[in-house]
Every structure is written in C-alpha cells, then in structure tokens.
Structure 1
Amino acid sequence: MHGFEHTGSHAVPALRATIEQYVDRRSGARHVHMATEAQESAFLAGFPTLLDTSDGRAHILEHLALSGSRRFPVRAPFFAMLRRSLATHMNARTHADRTAYLFASTDRRDFFNLLDVYLDACFHPTLDYLDFLQEGWRHVLEDGKLALRGVVLSEMQGAMADPMHALRHGVVAALFKGTGYAADPGGDPLAIPGLSHTMLRAFHARHYHPSQAVFMSAGRIAPAQIQERIAACVPALQAGRAERLLPALACAWTAARAQQLRIPAQDGQPGGHGLQLAWVLGETGDALGRCSAELLWAGLLGDAAAPLRAALEAAGFGRPARLAGLDTDMRQMVFHVGMEGLDAARVDDARRLILSTLERVAAAGVAEPVLRCALRDLRYRQRDTDGGGHTPFALRRLLQALPLALYGGDVLDGFDNAPALAVLDARVGDPGFFKGLVRALLDNPTRLDTHVVPDGAYFAARAAAQQQALAARQAALPGAERARIEADAAALAARQALAADKALLPRIRPGDIDARARPLPAVERLDGGAWVVEAATNGITHARVLYDVSHLPADDWPWLALYVRVLPELGVGARDFRAAAAWRRAAAPEFRVGIDTAAAQDGGLHIDIAFCAAGLEGDEAALADLLAASAAGVRFDETARLAFLVERAVRQRMEGVSGAGRDVAMLAACAPLSAARRFWNAVDGIDALPFHAALGRLCRTPDGMARLAARLAALHAQVTAAAPARLCIGSGAAARALARLLAAPDAFGAAPVRQAAAAPVPRQPAANLALLGGGQVNHCAMAWRAPGIAHPDAAPLAVAAELMTAWLHRSLRERGGAYGAHAQYDGDARVFALASVHDPRLAGTYADFMAALDTLAHGDLDPESIEEAIVGAIKALDRPLPPQREAIYAWQARRAGVTPALRQGWRAAVLACTAAQIGAAARTWLAPAAASRAAFVGAAGQDLAGMTALDLAAMAAAPTA
C-alpha cells in the first residue's frame, strides 16, 4: 500500500477540474492531482535544482537522467519511448531553480508504461560516465587539435545566438547576485567544461531525494492508482525526510544600481543600444501580489493607450523593449521595462522618460475601466486552453503550480486565481489603489538600470575565449591525459555502435492501436452563411473572419505579412490609434490578425487573412462589432504611427535572424519544392530580408512613407473586396449567437464570398545554400518534393521519416554532438525533410544524411524498428489539439477536401506499411540528386559541403523589395 494521505480537495469551475492534494507520510513527498474529464492524462515529477555555478549541472543531469536507469539500462530510453509509446507529449525542462520531467498520453496502458520509465529515470538513473561525455561535454582530438563536443554544450552555444537570452540572463544575474539565480540554468559553454562527472552525481543525490519531490498529475485516472505505482517504483519513499531545499531570496538594496551589458548583434550600429529597468518584487507564490503585478503591467504597458507604453512610443527616439512585463520564473518576481533601438547618447534620456512617466501615473492613476478590462483578461487567461505552443493545457497548469508546491506556497493559487481577483475587484474602484502600486514600484530601491550595448564581435570573442582555453589546456596536456581522452573517445564510439537492448522497455505495438481515425468535430453552415463548430472551450467564444487572398501574386506576399503585423495597432474609423487601442481592449481580451495557409489536394495553396477575436461568453456583440469595424475602417493615414510600427518590425526582423537559424535554413531548403514553404520563405525566411531592408529605407522620408501607406491601403482594399468566410467556435448557444451577428448583411458587406483558385505550385531549382549568419553552431536542412496524403507513397514516407529520425539521433546527436536531429514528412506542404539543430558539424552531417538515405532505400529494415516507426506516425495523427484548434483544423480539412474517408485510408495505409513499400518510396522520391539543401552556418571557415555561401547581412542590404 502507498503512504499518501489526502489533505484536501478544491473545485475550480473555470477549469472544469477538482484539485486534490496528498502528502506521503513517510518522506513528505507531495502529490497534486487535477481531476478532469479530458481525453489526455498527464504527469510530471518536479525537483528543486539549486545552483551556484553556470556549469550546466542541472541541465546536463536532466539529459543524463533520461539516458538509462537501473530498471531500464538502455541507451537513450527517453528517445526510444518516443517511438514505443502513444505519448502526446514527452519532455523535461530545466528552470532557474527547478527541473520537471513531464509526459501526457491518451492511452491508459501507455500512461503507466511511461510512468514506470520516468520514475526510474528520476530516482535510479545510471548516470553513466560515457553518457556524461556524450550529453554533457568532452574533450576530443581532431587532427591532433583539442576541441570540445557534447549535446548540452552545442545546445547552449545555439541558445547564446539569441540576444534575448543574453539580455535576460545578464539582468537577472545582476539582480540576484549572490544567489543561485545568478547562474545560467542551461549552462554557459565557457563554464560547462568545469563540471565533472563526480560533481554531477553528487548534485543528483542531494536534489532528487524523494523528500524533495513533487508529483503532479491530471486527467481521469484515479490518483490512488498513480500513488500505488509511485510507491512500487520508488521504495526510497520509506527512507525518511530531508529538509526541503529552498532558493535564496535576493538581498534588498538601499539604492538603485547600474550596469553595462553586451549582447550579440548582427553589427554594432549606433541604433542598437538599449536601456532596461528591472525591479525585484515580492514572492511569486503570493497570488494577490502576483495578480496585482499583472494589473500593474496592464495599466502601464498593456496597449498603445497605456500611459507608459504611449510615452515610450511617442518619444521620438527608440521603441519599447521586447523584455517587458512580469517575470515569474523565480521565487521572486521581476518587473521589466525598457527601450531599445537607441543611440548611446539617448540612454539617459530613456531613463528620465520612464521614471518621469511613472511619477506622472503615480499622481494621476489610470481610469477604472482599464483596470476592469485587465481583470477580465486575467479571468480569460485562466480559462484559455490554447496559447501553450505544443505543451498540453493540463501540463501547462501543472507547470504553473509546480513552483508553489516546491517552495511552500499555496498550490491552489497556481490553478485558481478567482479569490485574488475577487479582492482586486473590490480594490480597483479606489483611485488610490493603482497609484499606490506605481508609487511602490518607484520607491522600490532594488532596481537595476542596464545599458544594453550591441556587440558585433560577441560570437567571435566567445569563440576566441574558448579556443584560448583549449590551446592552454593542450599546451599543458600530459601524455596520460591525452591517452585518457583517446581512450574515452574509443569507449564512447564503441558504446554508440552497439545496438540498444530495447526489449527491456515497455511498448505499444501497431496491433494495440485503434484502427479508426479520430473523428473531427462537426462543421455546420448556418442559413446566413457563417460556419459554427461546437467545442468545449471553457466558456470562451472564438471567431475567425477569413478573407481568401489566394489570387494575389507572389510579389504581394511580404506585403501581406507586414499588413497583418501593423493592422491591429492602427486607428479605426474616427478613432486614432490610441483610442482604437483602448476600444479594442474594452471589446475583447484577444484580437489579432494573421495569415492561414492550407494546401489544396491539387498541390496548390489557399491563403487567408484571418481577423481573429475571442472573449468570454456574453461578449458576442462586442466581438462582432470589433471584427466588423476592424475589417471595414482601418486607417493608414497616421503615417507617423505607421512609420514607428514598420521601423520596429524591420529592426526586430533583422536582429532576430541569428536566433531563428533553424527555421531560416528549413524554409530555404523547402521553398523551391512547395507552395506553402515558398510563401513562408517569402514572408519569414531569407527572401524577406531584402524586402525588410527596402522598408527601412522607405520609412526614412515622407515620400517613402506616403508610398508605403498607399500600398498598404490598396492591399487592404484588395483583401476586403469580397465578403469573408466566418467561423465561430464555442458552446452551441454562444457560437451560434456570434455567427448570427457576423452573418448580418451590414456586418461585412453584401459582396459574394470569394472562392479563389489555390495558387499553383512554383517550379524552381533546388537550393544549395550555406547561409552565413553568425554564431557558433549550425542548422542543416535537406529536402525533397513529396506527394500529398492521397498518394500510395504517402504512408511509407511518413513511416520512413520516423525511421530516419531514429537513425539520425544516433549519428548526429550521439556521435556528432548536435542538440537535435529529425526527419519529417509533411503531406500538407508536400515535402520530406531532414534537419539538424544546434549542430557543431556541417559537412559531416550531410554525409550522415546521405548514409541514412542509402540505408532507407537499399538496406535491410528491422521489423521491430518499422513497428516503432508506425506507432510514431500514428501518434502524430492522433495528438489531440486544444478544442478551438481542433475546430479550425476540421474547417480547414473540409475546405481542402480532406474527407473522413481519405483520413481513414491514410491511417490504414500507415498501419499496414511494409519494408518493401518504404524502400520503394525512398527510391522514388528521395533521390540524392533531387535534394534541396540549405544550412545556417555559425562559425566561418568550415567545409561547406559544396554549398554556395550567401552572406545574410549582405542580402539584408540588397536594394530591391
């Protein structure tokens, strides 16, 4: 029997859940269960991982824990289980003060299979020395020269390419100097080689004791059954209690401090400086304090009408910083505000502007309706099942509550903010309340002022420091140490060459899988022409107004991307942009404009401009008015506002190139093969760089701005020339009420809905590009044109992608040191692609791509590996989406002609796939000569594997748009 005792239950109506809490009477381990009727069951195990160095020990331990355990002494059981389970999510995360191991599955048997593997990984990892060398770091001798390799090392070298990583860490490290938060939790590549295997094992023994653990689960499975399995897998629960580890609090300062911080930049242009102000606030576990801080952000910076954001945008220099708002990833909250895009001489002006504006708001306050809208938005976010990327809703809720459970807060506050919001409801009517929040921020002396300096030599300096350390090490390298490095390399290579004994791991077989395709929600067309999908959206109603622009020429594509980016921040009708921002805020908690693309069965491309809004049930009239007015009355005549928005978009696009290397490489490789990828390469990839450079030049003159505004106004007229399709999602009554409002004759005009032909697939020569973008690691991509899912070869290619991912993991990650490697068949975009991420190699990676292709086309394929690949392909088909995204997918499938029969046939073909079919499809579609290649290249001087070098900085300066 388990020793967990029930300590309380709490219903959370907004989540349609009950939170149940348990404590193990022997060890003190906690179990928190979120009981729901959701299809998925989820689990996580969390531990405090407190740091005093940036050597990456918590991050490397996360990798090693999933690299083999006492019960499952298998190489890389985590990656093996990705292919042997129906998990809808598997991951582990290292945060600033904690590590979480998490998974979700829709299959009960699979859930307990994964639970066994995860529990053994956490409490009984083998922590093998050779795994440490592979996943963490190791010295290698390459042509007699000492070098470094390791998966985490490569991952963090890639992370350093993101200027926001350097900025946030530099600010947090100074604010929390003397605490573990001053360390980089992912690890600094310059410090990682200071970690030894012995130090790592000691760190695990201290931090992964059962008395430190918090177990969390969600779904329909009874918590007692989960507790029985925990008790069986973790006998150390009986070993008694240890004092809980708590992260230290930051020392309070008596006066504000200042620092200068260098961050990576494409160049050292004068306009690349910035100023960041950051305050340490109260503990994150204080629900009322946290909601009050969220209210402070909304009142100051929530939209263009908010006083601090308005002042920063109207300054005439710079723009609001991207690092802004409330950071709750640590035990204490941090409030960020700042400006970027500054000349060095304007940094002090930016500081004076921020502080003087805060003084003004502390005296004048903000209007009560603004605060009421902010509270409504907090309630909306509590219910919203989307917004978490690929992380399921239940796991997002568990992760939100985990730090409270670890560090002594009330875990219920992580699930239910209603009590805190009720208190704030009563307080925001007092004009002095918000003024007091601003005054407390101004009077808080624990404030850091950071002058952010762009450093065009950032990567070169780090690479030089690493090479200098390696050269010094090699110069003093004794013969015995050289022999040990060579022996370690040989032992690791021999181990990596061994076939994994996967028989020890549990598995789901193709015969265990339901042969029926999961049904999609019904899409109903009402008499007025609008479409309705009923979905369990937690009391939220979603609307999408979709204008078909498939007929527009390719020259308009980058303009469409600019159009959707600026439109939500422009004026509407008689309202200028600030009045429009306040109006939007009052109307709905969510409003945006985006681009949807969907492939047609003939290989063409449907492109929609989507006006999207969402609100709580009862807000249907406001949503309909917001959408109709935004589509009909948007203003392009406020050229100063438009210039600000365009300049901001240009600067952020140019500054973000190095951090988006993996996407840039994949788009460049796939664009010649696919209409969808060509579109996105034109708006987000390398083809967009000259366009953004041209926009920057247009913004510099009144004539240029007049031309730009006229082009966007003409584009808006083209977009809205025909009536749109209207899709409403939510509970039956609310969705239908909104659909009727959107279908009214005066809502979007009486013109017929455009049924544009899908854009034809362009025929372009394959790419062969080495994109020189800066950094220390590479991102490699290789792609082929592939058939849609109706083709007989589609299922074999989907299974082939799963097989290739397994092979590439061994060659690129285990042996090559890349952070990630995968293959993908995309039947919608009609491409098959291979990719590596944060990769220290380039030519060697492409050689490994070719070797894997040869095995696929001509080798003997292992039957068990094929079965695993089939399970992986089916899992991708069955992964549940949030209700509103599932509804959108159903609508898009209907429009694209993806019928239930086609989906069922596709599933049956995957389940029945054979080795002969896989080999034949590979030989037909994946010929080496037909490949399109592109790599984002970090360090210069590498073997480019025969690819043509293209300097992205030079391309960004090209004179054409």
Structure 2
Amino acid sequence: MNFTVNTSYNGFKLLEEKKVKEINSMARIFEHEKSGARLLHIANDDDNKVFSITFRTPPTDSTGLPHILEHAVLCGSRKFPAKDPFVELAKGSLNTFLNAMTFSDKTMYPIASRNDKDFLNLMDVYLDAVFYPNIYKKPEILMQEGWHYELDNPEEEITYKGVVYNEMKGAFSSPEQVLFRKIQESLFPDTTYQYDSGGDPEAIPELTQEEFTAFHKKLYHPANSYIYLYGDGDIMEHLKFINEEYLQNFEKIKVDSEITLQTPYKEPKTSFVEYSISANEREQDKTFLSLNFVVGKSTNPELHLAFDILTYLLLETPAAPLKKALLEADLGKDVFGSYDHSILQPVLSVIVKNSNEEEQERFKQVVYDTLKALVDKGIDKKLIEASINIYEFKLREADYGRYPKGLIYCMKSMESWLYDEDPVLHLTYESALGKIKTALTTNYFEKLIEKYLLNNQHQSLLVVTPKKGLVQEKEEEVKQKLANYKAKLSKEEINQLIENTSMLKRYQEEPNDSKDLEKIPLLSLKDIEEKAEKLLLIEKKENGLPILLHPMFTNEIAYVNLLFDTTTVPKELIPYVSLLSFILGKVSTETYHYEDLSNEINIYTGGIDFKVEAYSLKNDDGTYFPKLMIQSSALVKQLPKLFHIIGELIGATKFNETKRLKEIIQEVKSRLEMNILQDGHIVAARRATSYFSPIGQYKEMCTGIAYYEFIEELEGNFDNKLQEIQSNLEKLIKMIFNQDNLLVSVTIEEKDYNKFQEAFKSLINYMGNEKLDKQQYQFDYGPKNEGLLTSSKVQYVAKAYNFQKLGYDYTGHLQVLKTIISLNYLWNKVRITGGAYGAMAGFSRNGNIYFTSYRDPNLDKTLKVYDEAHKYISEFSTDEREMTKYIIGTISKIDAPLTASMKGQEATAYYISQISQEDIQRERDEVLRTKPEDIKNLARLIKDVMEKNYYCVLGNEGKIQANKHIFKNLVEVFK
C-alpha cells in the first residue's frame, strides 16, 4: 500500500519515508502519538521478519541493573504469567532468532521468524514482558536472575548466588574481558560509560529490589522505546496490534535517559588494573597494553565507516603497518585492534597482548612514531584500496551467517537513532563510502590519523597486569565479608535468610500452572512443513576432478570451497594441519610478499580462509573424513584472479621468513588462550569426547587443549624447532594439495557455471597429481577424566560418550530429547537452581552425546545432575500441547534459515557424510511424530551413556583441587 507522510496509521504518525537503495528497502519512521514510542519500519521482500524493542538504559552504577533486568522481564508477565516464557518460546516457536542483549547504554529485545503467525506470537510475548513484567510482585525473580544470599541452615556459611552474578564472574575471568570492560571506564569518568552495565561481581550484591523496580518504572516506558520492524510482514496488521494491545494504554511522558558527552581530556591518562593467573603460571609476558582514543561521535556516518576501515587497515590485515611495527619492536606476542562504535563516543583501541608492564612507554612511542611516519610518508595506496574493497564487498554481500540480516540492520540503526539522529544514517552508506574512496588519490586517512589519533588528547593507556592468586584473594574477601555480615545478624535475621533461600527454591521447583503455560501462544503441527528442504547439489567433473555444483541466486558472487583430504598426513603431523591453515595467506609466496598478497586477496576477492574440518560418516564416529578446506568468495568476473591467488597459496607459499613464522605462532597461541577462557563449555565437551571417539580425538588434536599444548611447545622452543617446523610445513603442502585429494564445492548461478569452469582450469597446474598413501590413525582411548586448571572464577563441566558403541541407533527422537533436556531439565537444574549461566546437550548422528555447562559455580553437583537425567526421562510425561511445543522448537533449529553460501556448505557436508535426502526426511518424520513414550524409551540410552563416566571439567583451580578425588588427572592449562 501507499503511505502519506504526516498521516496517522493505527495510532502511528508517519514522519518520514525514504528508499534505502543500499539494502533494497523502504524505510518508514513513525511516532506513536499517544505514548511517544518511536518506530522504524524497514520494508522489503525478506521473509525472515525481525521485530525488536529497545530501551535507552544508561546505568548509574556497576550493579548490572540493566543486564539483570534484561533477564528478569522475560521471567513472566501480565498476560503470560508462567515463570519463564522466554524458555517456553525457545521450546515451542519457529523463531529464527530469540534473545535479549544488554549494551553499554541500551537494552535490546529482538526476535525473528519466517512464519507470520509465529512472528505475531513472539512480538506479543516480548511486548508484554517489557511493559508488564512480574518483577513487581515476585522478588524471587531478582534473587534468581541477579543475586541473593544463599543459606540453608544456621551452621553454614552464607554465599552469593544468581545467574547474572555467575555469568559476570565468568566474564571477569577472561583478561580480554577485563581489558575491554575497563577501556570505557578509563575514558569516560564523568558519564554513564564509566559503569559496567553487565555488572561487576563485586558490585552486583549492592542492588536492591527497590532500585531494580524503580529503574524499570522509569526507563521501560514507550516514550523511551525504539520499536523496529523488518521484512515482508503486514505492517498495517503489526501497527494495529502494537497500538491496540499495548501502546494505547500509555500516555506520552518525558523520560530522562539522556546520554551526556564526556568533556575531552586536556592530557592523556594512564590506568592500571589486575587480572588473575594461576598459582603456577609465570607472570612474565602476560601484561596487556592498550592505547585508546575517543573518536568523534557515532552519529557521524562518514567518520563511523572510515574508522571501521582504518582500524582494519592499521591493525587487522596481514599488511597492517601499525600491527607490523609493534610486532617488529618485540613489544608483545599478539597485536589486535578494536573500534567500538556501539556507544555515543566511539573508541579505537590498539592492543598488545603478552607484553610486560615496563614496556608501556616504548609501546606508546612505537604507536606514535608509526602513525606519524604514515602521515608524513603516506599510506600505501594499494593497502587503502584493499581495505576499502573488502569492506565494500561485505557491505554489499550482506551475509551475516546465522544472524538475520534484519537484526544487523537494527543494531546499525541504533548507533544513530538512540542518540536522536536519523535511524537509517548508517544504512545509507553510499555517500560516506564515496567520500572515503577519495583516499585513493588524496591524504584522506592520513588527515584522520593526524586529527583523531596524533593530535587527540582524549586518550588513555590501560595497563592490565597479571597477579597470582587474585581469584583466591577476592574469594577470601567475599567469604570474610559474608562472615562479618552473618556475625552481625540476629537469630531472627538468620532465620529470615534461611526462609528466603527456601522460598526461592520453592518458587524455582514449583511447576508452572498448566493454565499459565496455555496462555503462551503456540502454533500447531499443521503450521509445519512436513517435507524437508532439498539442498541443491549436482555432481560434475572438471579435468577429472569431482565438482559439487549448488546452483542458486548469489547476486553475481561465486562461493568456492576447495576440500582437500588430509588422511595422507601422518598422525604425528596432524596438529601441523591446523597450524598450516592459520599460516597460509599470512606469509609470502614466490610471487608476492605477504603484505602484497593480503592486498591482492582484499582487492580481488571477498576473502580466502583456511579451515580444518572433519566429517563423520553418518552413523559411525570411527569413520570420518578429515579435510583442509579453503573457503573463498569473489565476484564471478574475478574468478580467474581468485584461482590465481589460491594457486599461489597452495603451490608457491614459502616458509623461510623466520620472524614472520614466530609472530604467527605467537598469535595462534594468544587466540587459543582467548578461546579456552571464552568457550570453556566447548573446550571441555571436545576434550571429553576425545577420550572415546576417533573423530573427537582428531578434532582435539586440531583445535582443543592438545592443539594448544602443541602450539605452546612450538612457541616456547621456537629457535630449536625452527627447522623442524619449516620442514613439516613443506611436507604438508605436498601431502595435502594434491589433485587426488580434492573435492570442489561451488555455489553460483547456473548461467555463470561456464565462467567457473574456464577459470578453474588454471588451478590444476599448482597441484601435484601423484598417488599418496592414506594413513590409518590409531589413538589411545579411555576415561581420562581430567580437571583442567585455570584461574577462572567458574567451571565448565562436560560429560560425554557414544551411544552407538552401546548398541543404540540414531533417531530423530533424540533431537526432540535434546530440546527437552537442554531447555527443561538442564535449564531448571543447572541454570535456575544451580546458578550457572547456561547448560546444553548435543546429540550427533554418529552417536556422540555430550552434556556441558557454561559459567557454572558448581562442579560435582552438575555431574550429579547429568547422572540423574535418565530418571527425569524415564518419568517424562506431558500433554499433547507441550509435546507439540517441543517438536516445534526442535524443527525451528532444523529449519534455521541459511544463506546461499551456507546452503552450499551444508549440502557438501551431507554429501561427504553420506547423508541422503531420505535420511534427512526420515529424521524430520521422526521428529514430527515424536510421542512422550518415544522420549521415555530413551532413558536407558542416557543412563548407559552417563554410566560410562567420561567427563572433563575446565575451571577454577581451587574448586577442582577441592574435588580432586573425582579426577584421574589434573592438568595446568596455562604455564
């Protein structure tokens, strides 16, 4: 339909309408006349519809109030009084995205769905949650989601417990998280950005129920809201619904949530902060140095995009001159950049990791000298072209993987809208990009460096230093504080704490009233497509090599994945495959210096990445297909250049640049350290799986703790091992990049396949064609049951085994069980009553199962929860409505929308694993026809798996030491 500016539609006055050609959409900006709510509608033909409501929520302390409130409003509301509607939606909607997010100055509640009815249902639950939450009548919600005193009897010690409390203890266990959380504090001492909106564990217990509800009452009003609608939905229906069900009940008010600007510094400041390392870790080379600059305002679209590109140019590409200078100065072992434009005053940070405190002055000097030299001599124009090109490619491709496009656009819109500017400021990027491209013939970027970096006094140096035993020190302080608190309590007050603890447990354990659950809207199974989507795959051959063609619309982009079989690699060299995947493209070839190579990749392609993969035969974890995959994309017209560059990488890479090799190995080690602390649940589950599974063992050697130990050994003895490293990499190139090993997957429009055919021929010359022996790997198995010790404040507890080894077959019913176990049993036992941030289960076609927890305060209690899961399953009973919910929630994960490149990758994975369309349809049929008795029948499988007793825990060294009797081995992760 046609809209007219200054006309009202269902209570919303249209203020502006404009075409946004960059995203092929029409943008409409509305204001709700009665309540003052703002609304942005992005209309296009995308069926993956997105809704979000965002509130401006600047914190006034570090109690984590905005974050805790984000959790809490989704714990029941006026229309949907069940205790956890969010989980009920996760169990039983067709959502393609369902979450809530706390930023430094805003709280966002986004959902997405491709089903019109489901989309409206999700919108209804979220709007009711934010405007009418149960937090006013249920103090247990703050206790559960935020924090509470835990005391079961008068003799015990009081402890703190709460989901966000433990989540943030986990966040503050990572030195990188500590660093990033303190950058804003170092630059904005007089504004809201001095506080941690997520919550500092030391401050969280200061939050009161009164402050909690007052914050909601003040800021969760429509006049302080930003509503967003995206996609091909019926806008008139949605406006009518939002108005009649919600906004017409509110009167417009003035909400004081303004975010003020920090007065610029007259001179740079230096801040120091400590993070904890384990008792046996060395302190040398463990300091982080960060130089941070405040860069204008996020409401300047040209500056915003220009600094995105400049940060990449200076610090991220292999040709990055500032990164290169810092590494050559031997200031640390890893260098990376950050440009945070999610706040009113964006911040560029230059970070050196694994340095030392005494290097801070030299660090600043190298940064300033390098930036000054770039201004004086000029930045290499090819580097500028490469950096602009890769950003432009990504902007136009608009491929955000598992994140809906509409959600990314929503987040971009908030970077101007929240600060009272045009919400499509950053979506209409053509004008800004055009001005930035003048950098190809002018000193555009040099002027930015001079103005915003060299001549900018509003900057800080943040020094983050290691301290042994800091976690234990803080824990002792908390313990003493709580002991002192308890000592001052009267007998009646102690009894009241015990009663409060008991009250919370009763609240948590009491099942939802079935009538309350029925109020949460639910689709029927008739709304589900019974037929599984068929991913396109046509087998072809070119020059005798197998090609998998996935013909579909790709907007003139070709996605080419080259999968090389790596079973020609001897067992002792398996970790080198992973190292090789990180090195390729970052060292020189016979034709290109590595800096020039990086520029060529960024100018002519959408990226060339290397990745180690292993695909299991569909029903056998012992038969698997390890691959080194080259993932690449380029405009169809650039395919000849793409294959030329790939040919250089696989046929002419040189490993004789000693210093460069060392830098890369140090960077690999640094990034692995980050992953271990941030993704501990995955690390622990992978390690546990390696105890019994051949494919699990292989993946552990390429990506897990075993791989980290391998890299640590290379880095620590680099000089002695240099020749060995170079020799092994040379061997691998010949073993892997061979025609006999290659499978090609190409996603492209069918009309363009002939262009791929022609260009692909040139690649053949770069590969060997001799027949190579395939290896049969033999690994050692057994329940090693390790405790992996770190300085973390929390645990990641994993238990795993393979059900096919116990005689059970895979069935689609297991995927429904995964939904039930993850979002019901584990959610209630490990998260709600246990206080962990999360817990989940995984069930694979090859028989591997794992349970794992995330940022968990417990250890043995969680293992006990896993062991007792079979009892819950054996007693599982539910009505038809609830069973429908679990089935729909399972299907929503199976039917997650895929981009063209993702469809090509998934079809290829099915092909390699020998999963047929019949297998996929059979699984879907089994999911759709799952009955309660099918779930109950899986109890014995879970019991038998858990009784094999294969587990691994990564986490706090003190907690693991206190439970050392349950472990066979204790391993210090970091040295």
Correspondence 1:542-621 to 2 at 5 A: 542-601=559-618, 603=620, 604-621=623-640
1:475 positional shift: 1.7
CA contact (8 A) 1:812 1:836 kept: yes
Q: Which of 940, 947, 956 is the equivalent residue of 1:929?
A: 947
- Cα pair distance change 1:585/1:380, threshold 3 Å: closer
- Cα pair distance change 1:748/1:205, threshold 3 Å: same
Do structure 1's residue 802 and structure 2's residue 819 form an aligned pair? yes
CA contact (8 A) 2:51 2:229 kept: yes
In structure 2, the residue matched to 1:375 is 388
**Amino acid in structure 2 at the alignment position of 1:510:** L
In structure 2, the residue matched to 1:634 is 653
Higher mean alpha-carbon deviation, 725-734 vs 153-162, is at: 725-734
Q: Once the two structures are superposed, what CA deviation does each residue of 1:101-153 show, in whole Å capped at 9, x if it has no partner?
A: 11111211111111110000011111121111111110011552110111111
Q: Once the two structures are superposed, what CA deviation does each residue of 1:553-612 show, in whole Å capped at 9, x if it has no partner?
A: 443221111111122211111333333333333333422211122111352111111122
In structure 2, the residue matched to 1:307 is 321
In structure 1, the residue matched to 2:243 is 231
CA contact (8 A) 2:786 2:971 kept: no
Correspondence 1:320-335 to 2 at 5 A: 320-322=334-336, 324-335=337-348
SS at match of 2:938: helix
SS at match of 2:100: strand
CA contact (8 A) 1:544 1:611 kept: yes
In structure 2, the residue matched to 1:351 is 364
- Cα pair distance change 1:846/1:440, threshold 3 Å: closer
- Cα pair distance change 1:220/1:453, threshold 3 Å: same
SS at match of 2:661: helix
SS at match of 1:775: coil
In structure 2, the residue matched to 1:120 is 128
Q: Which of 799, 817, 821 is the equivalent residue of 2:835?
A: 817
Q: Once the two structures are superposed, what CA deviation does each residue of 1:308-353 show, in whole Å capped at 9, x if it has no partner?
A: 222122223424533x131112111101113232233333222211
**Amino acid in structure 2 at the alignment position of 1:63:** H
Higher mean alpha-carbon deviation, 209-218 vs 344-353, is at: 344-353
- C-alpha separation in 2, matches of 1:550 and 1:711: 15
Q: Which of 908, 921, 931 is the equivalent residue of 2:925?
A: 908
CA contact (8 A) 2:90 2:98 kept: yes
**Amino acid in structure 2 at the alignment position of 1:102:** P
Gaps of 5+ in 2: 1-8
- C-alpha separation in 1, matches of 2:327 and 2:919: 51
**Amino acid in structure 2 at the alignment position of 1:717:** K
- C-alpha separation in 2, matches of 1:735 and 1:246: 55
In structure 2, the residue matched to 1:99 is 107
- C-alpha separation in 2, matches of 1:527 and 1:941: 58
1:445 positional shift: 0.7
1:26 positional shift: 2.6
CA contact (8 A) 1:305 1:579 kept: yes
In structure 2, the residue matched to 1:19 is 27
In structure 1, the residue matched to 2:187 is 175
Do structure 1's residue 134 and structure 2's residue 113 form an aligned pair? no
CA contact (8 A) 2:64 2:200 kept: yes
CA contact (8 A) 2:538 2:548 kept: yes
Q: Which of 669, 683, 687 is the equivalent residue of 1:664?
A: 683
- C-alpha separation in 1, matches of 2:711 and 2:572: 13
Q: Which of 222, 228, 234 is the equivalent residue of 2:234?
A: 222
- C-alpha separation in 2, matches of 1:740 and 1:768: 53
Q: Which of 423, 431, 437 is the equivalent residue of 2:435?
A: 423
CA contact (8 A) 1:380 1:540 kept: no
CA contact (8 A) 2:784 2:969 kept: no
1:728 positional shift: 2.3
1:306 positional shift: 3.0
1:241 positional shift: 3.6
- C-alpha separation in 2, matches of 1:551 and 1:602: 23
1:221 positional shift: 0.4
1:226 positional shift: 1.4
Do structure 1's residue 466 and structure 2's residue 485 form an aligned pair? no
- Cα pair distance change 1:864/1:770, threshold 3 Å: farther
Higher mean alpha-carbon deviation, 634-643 vs 719-728, is at: 719-728
1:98 positional shift: 0.3
1:165 positional shift: 0.9
CA contact (8 A) 1:639 1:706 kept: no
Q: Once the two structures are superposed, what CA deviation does each residue of 1:56-83 show, in whole Å capped at 9, x if it has no partner?
A: 1000100111001011111111011111
- C-alpha separation in 2, matches of 1:863 and 1:75: 20
- C-alpha separation in 1, matches of 2:346 and 2:554: 30
CA contact (8 A) 1:296 1:438 kept: no
In structure 2, the residue matched to 1:28 is 36
- Cα pair distance change 1:747/1:926, threshold 3 Å: farther
1:473 positional shift: 1.2
Could you tell me the TM-score, scaled by structure 1's length?
A: 0.94
- C-alpha separation in 1, matches of 2:647 and 2:317: 20
Do structure 1's residue 851 and structure 2's residue 868 form an aligned pair? yes
SS at match of 2:425: helix
- Cα pair distance change 1:192/1:712, threshold 3 Å: same
Higher mean alpha-carbon deviation, 373-382 vs 97-106, is at: 373-382
- C-alpha separation in 1, matches of 2:829 and 2:696: 27
CA contact (8 A) 2:801 2:849 kept: yes
In structure 2, the residue matched to 1:447 is 459
1:500 positional shift: 0.8
Higher mean alpha-carbon deviation, 662-671 vs 615-624, is at: 615-624
Higher mean alpha-carbon deviation, 708-717 vs 373-382, is at: 373-382
Do structure 1's residue 869 and structure 2's residue 877 form an aligned pair? no
Correspondence 1:403-552 to 2 at 5 A: 403-431=415-443, 434-501=446-513, 502-523=517-538, 525=540, 527-528=542-543, 529=545, 530-552=547-569
Higher mean alpha-carbon deviation, 760-769 vs 399-408, is at: 760-769
- Cα pair distance change 1:647/1:423, threshold 3 Å: closer
- C-alpha separation in 1, matches of 2:749 and 2:724: 45
RMSD: 2.6
Do structure 1's residue 269 and structure 2's residue 283 form an aligned pair? yes
- Cα pair distance change 1:294/1:469, threshold 3 Å: same
SS at match of 1:935: strand
Higher mean alpha-carbon deviation, 47-56 vs 408-417, is at: 408-417
Q: Which of 226, 240, 245 is the equivalent residue of 2:257?
A: 245
1:617 positional shift: 4.7
In structure 2, the residue matched to 1:772 is 789
**Amino acid in structure 2 at the alignment position of 1:56:** G
- C-alpha separation in 2, matches of 1:64 and 1:946: 38
- Cα pair distance change 1:782/1:879, threshold 3 Å: same
Q: Which of 358, 361, 383 is the equivalent residue of 2:374?
A: 361
- C-alpha separation in 1, matches of 2:780 and 2:645: 41
CA contact (8 A) 2:548 2:744 kept: yes
* Amino-acid identity (%): 22
Q: Once the two structures are superposed, what CA deviation does each residue of 1:29-80 show, in whole Å capped at 9, x if it has no partner?
A: 2222222322311111111011110001000100111001011111111011
Q: Once the two structures are superposed, what CA deviation does each residue of 1:338-389 show, in whole Å capped at 9, x if it has no partner?
A: 323223333322221111111111111113332232222222221334345x
Do structure 1's residue 297 and structure 2's residue 307 form an aligned pair? no
CA contact (8 A) 1:298 1:374 kept: yes
- Cα pair distance change 1:686/1:950, threshold 3 Å: farther
- C-alpha separation in 1, matches of 2:329 and 2:808: 57
**Amino acid in structure 1 at the alignment position of 2:617:** A
CA contact (8 A) 1:16 1:538 kept: no
Correspondence 1:623-772 to 2 at 5 A: 623-654=642-673, 657-699=676-718, 701=719, 703-723=720-740, 724-734=742-752, 736-744=754-762, 746-749=764-767, 751=769, 764-772=781-789
- C-alpha separation in 2, matches of 1:542 and 1:756: 29
CA contact (8 A) 1:605 1:760 kept: no
**Amino acid in structure 2 at the alignment position of 1:94:** T
- Cα pair distance change 1:384/1:476, threshold 3 Å: farther
- C-alpha separation in 2, matches of 1:4 and 1:574: 61
Higher mean alpha-carbon deviation, 516-525 vs 159-168, is at: 516-525
CA contact (8 A) 2:606 2:634 kept: yes
**Amino acid in structure 2 at the alignment position of 1:826:** S
